[in-house]
Amino acid sequence: MRTDWDRYFLDIAKVVASRATCDRKHVGALLVRDRIILSTGYNGSIRGMSHCSETGHMLENGHCVATIHAEANAVLQAARAGTSIEAADLYTTASPCWPCFKLIANAGLKRIVFGEFYRDDRIFSVAQKLGIELVDKSAS
């Protein structure tokens, strides 16, 4: 049976996550518009800095803050390439944290498809107010 588009892009996001350099959680993200991949991102260190997998973690309140999250990296990679992401969809292996969600909302993304819920339920009420569709594919 042929896979649907959401599952197809989430499967690609899982492959992107395999490049993550923080071993606490591997996350991958894709920005897609009209079924065309615009950008990818994974959680990793600041460009030119050592990776958590090499030198350890920078922990604050139990979370590693040395890495840039996958969603932010996907937005940054699009910006570096001069690629417009207005009205694109985000496919991510884990739902965005609050700081990444704010970045996504202000970038003009219209839909977020995620493979698992990750800790911040504020995104649900704000997404509804802003008209951003959230699609939880963890059950499928």
Place of tokens 């339920």: 121
Residue 3, token pair as written in the block: 């896979």
Q: Are 87 and 33 a contacting pair, CB within 8 Å?
A: yes
Task: Please indicate whether residue 71 is annotated as part of the active site.
Answer: yes
Residue 90 DSSP SS3: strand
- Name residue 133's beta-bridge partners: 111
Q: Are 23 and 43 a contacting pair, CB within 8 Å?
A: no
Q: Are 123 and 109 a contacting pair, CB within 8 Å?
A: no
Q: Are 85 and 38 a contacting pair, CB within 8 Å?
A: yes
Q: How far apart are CA 134 and CA 34, in angstroms?
A: 18
Catalytic residue among 71, 86, 116, 133: 71
Residue 25, token pair as written in the block: 């959680």
Residues involved in catalysis: 71
